[in-house]
Structure 1
């Protein structure tokens, strides 16, 4: 039996969130979904040990943004893969982003998110298997 791989998906747009949930499920992932940064951080606090990766929009309305959510996730897990989604904040990645992350620009195809998170998970697993963490490969 294959272990379930659960992702935290954070997006304040219900239609985007639902589309991505469906496509991630089709790719074999379970998702926990959050509509804003506060909700995402609460889910991370409660379930971080069960979450293998984070997919987050950057602009989440009032409260913590996607950069904040990613830093919170990173504080809980030093190697959790993170995929950022944005239509206007890519330029901030070098300053705001964390290691083990990729950014996908909007508009996007859900296949890009699946590919990005799968790639990061494979790299992380390969690095753990080699017993040589190489975070610079994921920045």
Structure 2
């Protein structure tokens, strides 16, 4: 699939991940799902050139959190669109989030997910090369 359409989804709740993945695939994205931060970081290290965006939960079980995953992603790809999703950490976004990212508070509608992701992808396309 075209790199413009490939997303990394870091979400430790399988049911939530399945719903998000289905939603994203319905609108044309290819989704690589990581259940934990370590898995997401490994995917970023191996597939980063093929990714068009990262969607990460903040709490990812034990180990690193979504904030760390996003910082790692931005170290590898400074313009990668990053969308945070969280049920309880939205208030930390301004302090811990990477610049030019968006936070969606769970629960959210599918249309909010697609709108936020579209905003980030459009902003990336408008950045000078």
TM-score w.r.t. length of structure 2:
0.94
Deviations 1:72-128 (A, max 9, x none): 000000000000001111111111100121000011122211211111000110123
Any residues of structure 2 matched to 1:32-51 within 5 Å, and which? 32-51=32-51
Q: 2-side partners of 1:68 and 1:125: how far apart?
A: 25
**1:49 shift after superposition:** 0.4
TM-score by length of 1: 0.88
Larger radius of gyration: 1
The alignment yields a C-alpha RMSD, in angstroms, of 1.3
- Structure 1 SS opposite 2:8: strand
Instruction: State the Cα deviation string for residues 18-55 of structure 1 (Å, max 9, x = none).
Output: 11111100111001000010000000000000001000
Give, in whole Å, the separation in 2 of the partners of 1:109 and 1:54: 18
Cross-structure match for 1:120 = 120
SS class of match (1:104): strand
Q: Structure 2: which 5+ residue stretches go unaligned?
A: none
CA distance in 1, matches of 2:79, 2:56: 16
1:111 and 1:33 map into 2 onto residues whose CA distance is 20
The total of aligned residue pairs comes to 128
Q: Which runs of 4+ in 1 moved over 4 A?
A: none
Q: Which runs of 5+ in 1 are unaligned?
A: 132-139
Show the 5 A alignment for 1:3-14: 3-4=2-3, 5-14=5-14
